[in-house]
Structure 1
């Protein structure tokens, strides 16, 4: 936990995809201070016409390298979120060539009773985590 749904335009190679997912995970570990094996990522690949990310009148155009990351997480501080956004920008830019204009992130928070990691139990509530 956190749970990441990552949306991209189809066309990256297996190696490029692995690098993208690792860069995102490294940012998560660094910014949210989660354990290394706390990794829940779902990659969704779309046709270009099925992943619309317009600019909300900010005056820029996105490319087919666009990445939309939807994060579901326990509450995080504003500082942690800002550190996550900055780390993503750096890691995805340096390792994957993702331009700043092509990155969009949405964080949604839920409570501890919103998670079960298996066995039909809420591990945050039972004290297992």
Structure 2
């Protein structure tokens, strides 16, 4: 049950943003075994004054096309699955909408299963 928050600079067309949703979702299905229709995602666009990044931190040459992807998910995946997810997201977003690997920034936040309520005020995984 991942929850995604995606941030990028404003100005990309809707098809570009939808391709990000689709690519990340498919990568999650392929590497984290996320069920069909388990899609809870937002994209937030920022003007240049409200979007800052290290252009070369850790030797990665980032551009203004940088996309921040924060994924909150259950703490149940192996290190190998996490690495596979990161690679697959970068691959898929490179294919469509054409984002350079250097511009795919991913942060995985892991939580205990009981920390979710998917509606109705019920802790479905507890």
Normalised-by-shorter TM-score class: over 0.9
Q: Which residue of 1 aligns with 2:71?
A: 71
Following superposition, the deviation at residue 53 of structure 1 comes to 2.0
Aligned positions, number: 125
Match of 2:28 in 1: 28
Kindly report which structure 2 residues correspond to 1:51-62, keeping only aligned pairs within 5 A, or say none: 51-55=51-55, 57-62=57-62
User: After superposition, what is the alpha-carbon deviation per residue over 1:101-124, rounded to whole angstroms, capped at 9, x for unaligned?
Assistant: 111111111111110001110011
1:55 to partner: Cα distance: 4.8
Deviations 1:41-93 (A, max 9, x none): 01111112322221564234322211111111101211111110010111000
- Name 1:4's counterpart in structure 2: 4
Q: What are the ranges of 5 or more consecutive residues in structure 1 without an aligned counterpart?
A: none
Counterpart in the other structure of 2:37? 37
Query: Gaps spanning 5+ residues in structure 2: where?
Result: none
2:62–2:103 Cα contact (<8 Å) kept = yes
Indicate conservation of the 8 Å contact 2:56/2:62, yes or no.
Answer: no
- Check the 8 A contact 2:55/2:63 in 1, yes or no: no
CA distance in 2, matches of 1:20, 1:106: 15
Residue 87 of structure 1: aligned partner: 88
Distance change >3 Å, CA 77–CA 55, structure 1 → 2:
farther
Q: 1:113 to 1:56 in 2, by over 3 A?
A: farther
- Residue 108 of structure 1 is matched in structure 2 by 109
- More displaced stretch, 52-61 vs 66-75: 52-61
Distance 2:108 2:64 in 1: 22
TM-score (norm 1): 0.90
RMSD: 1.3
